[in-house]
Amino acid sequence: MSTQALVSILLPVRNNEHHLVACLESLLSQTYTNIEIIAIDDYSRDNSYAILTSYRKKDKRIKIYRNVKQYGLRLTLNRCVKRSRGEFIAFMNPDDYSSKSRIARQVQFLLQNQKIAAVGTQCYIVNSYDKKLEASRFPSEHETIYNSLLHTDSMQPESIMINKYNVPKDLLQFTSDAYPYIYRRFLLNLVKYGEVANIGTRLYFHRDSNIVKLSMRKYLPIFMKLLVKSHTLYDYRPTFSALFMPLVKGI
């Protein structure tokens, strides 16, 4: 493993004081130490920015910024990307946390698999008290992931690490979709240029409070809109059976 490769971890923050400490502790305790944490506070109204400031005093690998007003997730993520310097870019949800070996395992995987543009991990769904509620069973191979990108059985978006030099520079930007579809659109664009994979080990812990659960009546219009855009904007062509799996399983 190259110990020289810098990993930029993008951390958009907005009113996350309840779990932000656990998130930062998990990142700062990574076994892979050559990291920078690009944390941008989106004009939080709680103690999130104060927490970031206190941790920056402890560890200079944290780079913090604050939006002058609430810009939303899209602009905040794009600002994070612009400030990143790493060869690899990782995502992080401020309510979640990672295992200590997550970054090391992902860097190693990308170095050993040069054709892979992005790699995610398996994850646990946990509650506010860190009790494990569910374990993911995401596919590991590109073809299966590609065919299921429109629904949540493909990847945990914030567990992903990107090899920045395997994708065009202008691809590293986010559109105006709301969470979690902002990441789905990003992935649809990414798979035009490189393959994706999931590590089989559960290295990411996702809060159940972050899971968006919609009724089929509300979900179907969103799905169909995303489907049309995926075909017209990204030439996304999954298999027929995989395409309609979300309609059977829901979100």
| Residue 39, phi then psi, degrees to nearest 5 | -105, 120
Write out pLDDT tens, residues 44-78: 999 999 999 999 999 999 999 999 999 999 999 99
Greater confidence (176 vs 114) lies with: 114
Q: What is the CA radius of gyration of the chain?
A: 17
Domain regions of the chain by residue span: 7-213
Write out pLDDT tens, residues 199-215: 999 999 999 876 655 55
**Three-state SS letters, the chain:** CCCCCCEEEEEEECCCCCCHHHHHHHHHCCCCCCEEEEEEECCCCCCHHHHHHHHHHHCCCEEEEECCCCCCHHHHHHHHHHHCCCCEEEECCCCCEECCCHHHHHHHHHHHCCCEEEEEEEEEEECCCCCEEEECCCCCCHHHHHHCCCCCCCCCHHHCEEEHHHCCHHHCCCCCCCCCHHHHHHHHHHCCCCEEEEEEEEEEEEEHHHCCCCCHHHHHHHHHHHHHHHHHHHCCCCCHHHHCHHHHHCC
Cα–Cα separations (whole angstroms), residue 213 to 29, 48, 101, 138? 32, 26, 30, 19
In the predicted structure, residue 40 carries a pLDDT above the cut 80: yes
Mean pLDDT of 135-160: 92
In the CATH hierarchy, which fold is given to the domain comprising 7-213?
A: Spore Coat Polysaccharide Biosynthesis Protein SpsA; Chain A (3.90.550)
Is the whole model's pTM more than 0.75, yes or no? yes
Nearby residues of 7 by Cβ (< 8 Å), 6 or more positions away: 32, 34, 35, 36, 86, 87, 88, 89, 90, 103, 107, 161
